[in-house]
Structure 1
Amino acid sequence: MTEWLPLSEVAVRARVGRRIAPGMDHAQFRARVADWREAFARQAGRDVALYFEDAVGFAAALFGAWHAGKRVMLCGDNLASTLERAASRVDGFAGDVAQEFAPLQPEQGGDPDELVALDEAATQLFVFTSGSTGEPVAIEKRLDQLAREVEALEASFGEEMQGAVVHGTVSHQHIYGLLFRVLWPLAAGREIAPRTFFHEDLLMAVGRRPAVLVASPAHLKRLPSQLDWAALHGQLRTVFSSGGALGADAALDARRHLGVAPTEIYGSSETGGIAWRRWNREQPAWHALPGVSWRIVDARLEVRSPHLADAHEWWRSEDRVATEGEGFRLLGRADRIVKIEERRVSLDALERHIAEHPCVQEARIGMLPGARDTLVAVIVPNESGWAALREHGRRALSQTLSHFLAASHDAVARPRRWRFAVSLPVNAQGKVTDRELMALFRPERPEPHWRLREAESAELELDLSPDLAVFDGHFPQAAVLPGVAQLDWAIRFGREAFPLPPRFLRMEALKFQRVARPHDRIRLQLQWLPAKQCLQFTYTSAHGPHASGRVVLGE
């Protein structure tokens, strides 16, 4: 058993021979932190923004900045728009960001023996939460809040994780990944594996060593049944899920595939972890983490916790709950009441009703603003639902579901527009937000139908719906797919398929041969040439070739 180190001392006290990550032991990690401390200490200003693809490289820079007295902002991604917003709030950047943002580089020769324990109350960072609207909101977190939370996690789950390597599908640039893939493993002395994006990569990465998986609901809902998951049985000690609700069907399927019952963590960026439940049976109750107190006031959950900014005040959530044994059950959000033509409509109640239909696996309702606000529905059909879609079409199933609601909801309080999806859309934090839902009704790009995904080649088909926002105004008399959209899609889908370098360098051999129009089905072929750092793409359809080119990328 490895000695526990407080977060304030993970870079201060030595762990002889302990491996932090593949190719890095604890001594090398401390040296890297010291190098970053030297660099940050020479940088003017207090606030720095970090974005790193690699979790351990990120951890070294994070602790280096903290030991230099900096306040750290975590960028959720390294898109230019994100970095530009951050630039107005920080004094510098470090990590995998474009050179125009002048990212800081570590110094050489820092002395790890000069590092002293961090002041938990004075050490800070900012994370971003999307909330329910999708607009990023900065949340300040002190080291004492983070430290108490990883201590609570270790007290709850540490014993079953001894000797395990920590694997993850989620980004450490958000609070869940930060805690579970970086801070907790560092304090407990567990090895941190590189992030895995695809299920096949996870199977290969785990191998024969004991492992922990830090996943999102979106990942666990999409476990392909054709893979040999039995190879992980006995190797996976624990599977965590957070960032959104994991439905009973997905949880029990994950338990069957992975050989271990998923453990869900309930909380938020503001509150930190509140409670947990494990899917050893259907619909388990939530149990508070150590140190967290809870009560129900006006049917809503209130918590008091050392993970909050004020550990002594009660924090009131918008979650409706009911007591169940020594725990509680979530009943939906109290704030999901909207007005449609002066009629109050509970989106939660509407979703629950639709989910009772024999063709529906999951449903999410939103309100599309406009001259006349409209309720819209995103439906994840079950097997019966997909069969109905294939046989009768979307319009027929939409009408069937609307008639199903008619007994208890009049026409004003029923969705007017419907979308059917393989899964509910989520953001980078694994949350279903209004922004992701509304994008399905005015999407910028079509849903990909992947035909091939290999290490260096991929192929997908795209149905060009007239509803795509990229057709707006281009051109009114005869809509065509803009060339800039084709470039954007090639890079975006390329990043889904391959671990591409973060920086766009240039285009090569770009050709546009034939216009693509609404209702076309086009095929996108992608080839990743790692030796040349080049993404090659070709668009074709039944009409012939549409466009091709090469995108050169770099670090």
Structure 2
Amino acid sequence: MAEWIALHDVAVRPRPGRAVAQRPGNGIDHAAFRADVARWRKAFAASAGDSWALHYEDTATFAAALFGAWHAGKTVYLCADALPGTVERLRAEVSGFAGDFPPDCQLLAPAGDASTPDDGATWPPLDEQATQLVVYTSGSTGEATAIRKCLGQLAREVEALQATFGERLEDAVVHGTVSHQHIYGLLFRVLWPLAAGRVIAPRLFFHEEIAAALDAPALLVSSPAHLKRIPDTLDWQRARTQLRAVFSSGGALPEEAAVAARCTLGHAPVEIYGSSETGGIAWRERQQPGPAWTPLPGVAWRITEGQLEVASPHLPGRDWWRSADRVEADGAGGFHLLGRADRIVKVEERRVSLTALERQLTALPEVTEARVVLIDGPRAELAAVVVLGESAHARLQARARRGVAQALGQALAGGQDAVTRPRRWRFVDALPMNAQGKTTDAALRALFRPERPTPLWVLREPTQAQVDLDLDPALAVFDGHFPQVPILPGVAQLDWAVRFGREAFALPPHFLRMEMLKFQRVARPGMRIRLHLEWLSQKSALAFRYESALGPHASGRVVFGEAVA
């Protein structure tokens, strides 16, 4: 295992023959890394201004530019993306740009070439207080908030990670699916590996790449977005043999995803809880259901008015910092998370302010009112409920609903990427209100509840079809029918028969009448029923029959006709 080097000495102390990073076709040893840092240091030192925005997709290039800027006494602004809105915001805050930004940013480039002599041995170590980094996150108001961190905070955090997990990792290669442009990726894929002497591998995007890359002792720095979608069709045998640990952060990892990852990869993911403001707070490893969070070394915590407060060397001062997370103690030194007390949500590990999205929507000329909620499911999605102005409402009446939704989504694109924009839309005449005149999240989510189940087709032939339907208790058709003992309404059964009949067959456009309608047995939430459909072309009729393991539920025939001249 390599000797530990403090972060302030990473680019100063030589590590002869030690590999730093992998690249396709060749690797980068510590001498080459120091030479790259020297070129960047020279370029930054010759440039005016103290604050620089840095954004590189390549992790090794980013690491060299970061330490080059630091050794030149510059403050680095770490931005998550290079969207136009991000660039415009940064122009007012930084002296210049380096990296994968638009060309009109007048980008800084490293000085000299790869043969530039390495003069790192003559540099002083970095000053832990003077060396600064700025990251951005959405605060309770939803505005992008700059968070300034000194090297000492980052150093204490990687030291805590090494003390907690270092022994099991040894010289494992660091693979990751997360970007180093976020604080989690920066710590786990850049700063911690550099201090520990572990090799940094290029970022991975696809599960096939992950499975192929894990051919030597490795650790995987990932996120719930990837871990929730691990396909069991790939060969993960090498992963189970070579992986030393799997880390996950940036959002909640569902219990079923943690179990599936443990079975597939051979390791229960180590989940890291924290934020851009606080740094790492605690960790857990779900070898069993529902473990509490264990504080990282040096982190103190307490509960005030039901919310978590922490004090740690990862914070800028010694004051207690109150989070927006509600918690309860487990009685054994750890705690359980109970949910958020504000309107910040996580979508694919991206922190999104619902308040900010609503503000952006209502600033559009087409929108009068807007509310945004998070819809949970296999894939969490943002959903917007919108009251339109007169001109946009007229377009909606002209059956251009999809076009209106696309136009509103595009209007948000300058400041929000595809993940952090609403995917689902409802246009209403007025926001739903309760008896107290308030619009609740529950009422908004109810607008997006499905009225019919997802069809599971069993048979689809020219005149015959069968489809299984799971009666989820959350289906909107059960509302009020009946409050104490909900059953599937007959009108819903007729509607489903026609709708799924149109999916299966080319039915005439006009409903004429019902025939032979029978309701024999009630269908309740939680059941699976099978809908049998038959197209009787000579009679221009759709015959349907609902059955379950209990027997027949309903049957009938719907007669259709062509348009009347």
TM-score range, shorter chain: 0.5 to 0.7
88-97 or 75-84, larger mean C-alpha shift: 75-84
Deviation at 1:114, TM superposition (A): 2.5
Unaligned 5+ residue runs, structure 2? 345-353, 356-370, 388-429, 432-438, 459-466, 486-565
Where does 1:214-363 land on structure 2 (aligned, <5 Å)?
A: 214-310=221-317, 312-324=318-330, 325-335=332-342
Partner residue of 1:144 out of 152, 159, 165:
152
Where does 1:399-414 land on structure 2 (aligned, <5 Å)?
A: 399-400=476-477
Distance 2:38 2:325 in 1: 43
Asked if 1 retains the 8 angstrom alpha-carbon contact of 2:158 and 2:192, the reply is yes
Deviation at 1:404, TM superposition (A): 10
Give the aligned residue type for 1:399. Answer: A
- Identify the residue that residue 35 of structure 1 maps to in structure 2: 39
Deviation at 1:136, TM superposition (A): 2.8
- Identify the residue that residue 3 of structure 1 maps to in structure 2: 3
- Identify the residue that residue 219 of structure 2 maps to in structure 1: 212
Unaligned 5+ residue runs, structure 1? 340-346, 409-555
Distance 1:63 1:197 in 2: 26
SS of residue paired to 1:234: helix
Give the aligned residue type for 1:275. Answer: A
Partner residue of 1:376 out of 424, 445, 453:
445
Deviation at 1:260, TM superposition (A): 0.6
Where does 1:525-540 land on structure 2 (aligned, <5 Å)?
A: none
- Identify the residue that residue 18 of structure 1 maps to in structure 2: 18
Give the aligned residue type for 1:152. Answer: A
Change (3 A) 1:104 1:225: same
Asked if 1 retains the 8 angstrom alpha-carbon contact of 2:454 and 2:470, the reply is no
Distance 2:385 2:340 in 1: 19
Change (3 A) 1:3 1:376: same
Asked if 1 retains the 8 angstrom alpha-carbon contact of 2:222 and 2:247, the reply is yes
Distance 2:299 2:481 in 1: 42
Change (3 A) 1:38 1:30: same
Change (3 A) 1:113 1:222: same
Distance 2:104 2:174 in 1: 34
Change (3 A) 1:233 1:89: same
SS of residue paired to 2:444: strand
Change (3 A) 1:58 1:392: same
SS of residue paired to 1:233: helix
- Identify the residue that residue 488 of structure 2 maps to in structure 1: none
- The TM-score with structure 1 as length reference comes to 0.65
- The TM-score with structure 2 as length reference comes to 0.63
288-297 or 320-329, larger mean C-alpha shift: 320-329
Deviation at 1:407, TM superposition (A): 7.2
- Identify the residue that residue 157 of structure 1 maps to in structure 2: 165
Asked if 2 retains the 8 angstrom alpha-carbon contact of 1:295 and 1:301, the reply is yes
Distance 1:393 1:236 in 2: 39
TM-superposition CA deviations, 1:458-488 (whole Å, max 9, x none): xxxxxxxxxxxxxxxxxxxxxxxxxxxxxxx
> How well do the aligned residues superpose, as a CA RMSD in angstroms?
3.3
SS of residue paired to 1:308: coil
Deviation at 1:395, TM superposition (A): 11
Distance 1:405 1:239 in 2: 47
Change (3 A) 1:234 1:379: farther
Give the aligned residue type for 1:67. Answer: H
Give the aligned residue type for 2:12. Answer: V
Give the aligned residue type for 1:171. Answer: S
Asked if 1 retains the 8 angstrom alpha-carbon contact of 2:140 and 2:342, the reply is no
Asked if 1 retains the 8 angstrom alpha-carbon contact of 2:220 and 2:243, the reply is yes
Asked if 1 retains the 8 angstrom alpha-carbon contact of 2:455 and 2:469, the reply is no
SS of residue paired to 1:72: strand
TM-superposition CA deviations, 1:309-362 (whole Å, max 9, x none): 11x2111112111111221111111235999xxxxxxx9xx99xx98xxxx768
Deviation at 1:41, TM superposition (A): 0.3
Distance 2:378 2:95 in 1: 48
Change (3 A) 1:379 1:249: farther
TM-superposition CA deviations, 1:229-270 (whole Å, max 9, x none): 223112111000000000100111111111111000000000
Partner residue of 1:167 out of 171, 175, 185:
175
- Identify the residue that residue 62 of structure 2 maps to in structure 1: 58
Partner residue of 1:194 out of 202, 211, 222:
202
Change (3 A) 1:54 1:387: same
TM-superposition CA deviations, 1:514-542 (whole Å, max 9, x none): xxxxxxxxxxxxxxxxxxxxxxxxxxxxx
Distance 1:129 1:38 in 2: 31
267-276 or 112-121, larger mean C-alpha shift: 112-121
Change (3 A) 1:368 1:162: same
Distance 1:70 1:148 in 2: 21
Give the aligned residue type for 1:52. Answer: Y
Deviation at 1:137, TM superposition (A): 2.2
Give the aligned residue type for 2:18. Answer: R
Change (3 A) 1:168 1:377: farther
Change (3 A) 1:406 1:294: farther
Change (3 A) 1:139 1:379: farther
Deviation at 1:367, TM superposition (A): 7.1
Give the aligned residue type for 1:376. Answer: R
TM-superposition CA deviations, 1:373-407 (whole Å, max 9, x none): 561269999xx977599745999964157569977
Deviation at 1:204, TM superposition (A): 1.3
22-31 or 327-336, larger mean C-alpha shift: 327-336
Change (3 A) 1:236 1:249: same
Change (3 A) 1:42 1:257: same
Change (3 A) 1:401 1:331: farther
TM-superposition CA deviations, 1:121-148 (whole Å, max 9, x none): 1111111124577653221111111000
- What number of residue pairs does the alignment pair up? 389
